[in-house]
A and B are shown apart, each in its own frame.
Chain A
Amino acid sequence: MRRVAVIGVGQSTFVRSYPGSIRELAFEAYRDAMKDANLKPNQIDASVVCSAPEYDKQRTPAGLMAEYLGLNPQPTFYVESVCSSSSSGLRTAYALIASGLHDVVMVLGFQKMSEITSAESQERMGRGADIQWEAPFGTMMPAYYAMYARGHFEKYGTTEEDLALIRVKSSTYGVINDRAVFRKALQLEKIMEPKYIATPLKVFDCCANADGSSCVVLAAEEKAKDLVAKPVRIAGLGMATAPINMAARQTFSGLTCAQLAAKQAYEMAGITAADVDVAEVHDCFTIAEMMAYEDLGFAKPGEGPLLIRNKETYKEGKIPVNVDGGLLSKGHPIGATGGSQIRTIVLQLRGEAGEMQVPGAKIGLVHNIGGVGIYGNVSIFSAV
């Protein structure tokens, strides 16, 4: 198989309500990535378009996007794994290039969550799980992750304050990320106010919906070197799944899909957790970041709280995590999130992350989860 590299990254500013249509929202990330890679549309051999379809009014968005982005008549198609759609898109694009089928492939992620009304959104929220056996009880994402928080608390003695410390870190970096939707610094006392969404998760334990887009351009590494000065290699990819139904879950203190995906990605890259210089993890809720510390091997099971208490996941710490503010501060436009995480890591490995830069970062990791641990993608990148 051929090696594959990232040659361009882009994202829109994530906002609460984007004042334009989905094609215009997508174009913002596309323009950003195409300028970054210094490419013309006819140099893109194929595109993979990613979103969560329940938020789209447009049927079959890939066709619409290919036209608006100027990517006809090249192949295009749609890839979905809810919140990890654009990481699944990366995996798909990687295979298209590694196989030799295409040389340059673009992964476009987008979500205009404000496309539908709040009432429609409330209705869809209830259908995010198994609609036959679980949704009839009144389920939603915060409640599911809250059950994992309870599981972690019971097994390891983790506290609400430990989770709050993750939000404090997130807000620290949200302040300096001009693409983030939430840019206010938050103090611990504010985060600890007992405004529960689903116990033990409170309002600031949860990320915000947002409208946004992301774009990642990949190329065969031998071509990448001719196209851009600083290609970033995709060194390892892992993906695993777990049952959608809570009754079939083995544990409520970690996500098995992430553990398995991480193992695969580390093996493929020939590295261990200790080799990672900077990571982006899927912090849709604070507990999700806590579990990621352990599922990725940055901490032993149960020792995630020590990492955040000791500030080891801050920029200056042992393993900087989500130093762009993460989903908690950037916002979580479902289909765009993975691409945004990848963009952050690519900028870090090129030494172009500005105020967020982790000095000398050579290996970066992206952990992107779909649903409550249904789909787990872990991707490892390295400076070439």
Chain B
Amino acid sequence: MGFEQFGIVSFTSATKAEQFVEFLKSNELRGTVCLDCGAKFFPPRTDCCYCLSDRMDWFTISGEGRLVSFTTAMFAPAGFEKDVPYTLGVAEFADGTKVFGRVDRSIPQEQIKVGMAMKTRAVDLGEGRLTYELVAA
């Protein structure tokens, strides 16, 4: 099993970054950092577009981020219809890393604000599927 385990609906089965899913299993959201030039990437990538290196290590997204923007979708593409409404957002962390994902649906709509403190959490979707979400810090 590999990357097809990631997400509510998966469109990609194979990636060299599939270890990402293994980290989610231990509730860690990880990006990659280039061992040659130090560039950090989230989502993770296995090739550095700054120095062309393929020597990468993993780093953990930790601490509190701030919600940069969000939207609540009332309509959804195929495969997500049962989820609506759901909120998508981007949070920025202290080191400048931004994370895009779903926002915890237990947060009442009116409490979701740009600038609110967020952290990430791995989510077990059942049947071997995993994702992550942004939750209130």
Contact = CB atoms under 8 A, between A and B. Distances in A.
Query: Does B bind A?
Result: yes
Nearest to B7: A136
Contact of B11 (A127, A201, A247): A127
Contacts of B60: none
Interface residues of B, number: 38
17 contacts: A119-B78, A132-B11, A135-B9, A135-B11, A136-B8, A136-B10, A137-B8, A138-B73, A138-B86, A138-B102, A140-B75, A146-B73, A154-B114, A199-B71, A199-B72, A245-B43, A245-B100
Interface of A: 119, 122-123, 125-127, 130-140, 142-143, 146-151, 154, 196-201, 245-249, 252
Contacts of B118: none
Contacts, number: 120
B62 interface: no
Given A147-B90, A245-B100, A248-B98, A138 B72 contact: no
B11 A147 contact: no
Given A132-B15, A136-B10, A150-B114, A247 B69 contact: no
A137 B88 contact: yes
Contacts of A130: 43
Nearest to A253: B69
A196 B77 contact: no
Nearest to B99: A247
- A-B CB proximity, top 7 nearest: A136-B7, A126-B77, A138-B80, A146-B71, A131-B11, A133-B43, A123-B78
Contacts of A136: 6-11, 131
B7 A137 contact: yes
A196 B74 contact: yes
A69 B69 CA distance: 47
B59 interface: no
Contacts of A143: 71, 73, 88
Given A122-B78, A138-B80, A151-B69, 16 more contacts: A125-B78, A131-B11, A132-B11, A137-B131, A138-B8, A139-B77, A139-B88, A142-B75, A147-B69, A147-B88, A148-B69, A154-B69, A198-B71, A199-B71, A252-B68, A252-B69
Nearest to A132: B12
B75 A132 contact: no
Contact of B71 (A125, A147, A249): A147
B107 interface: no
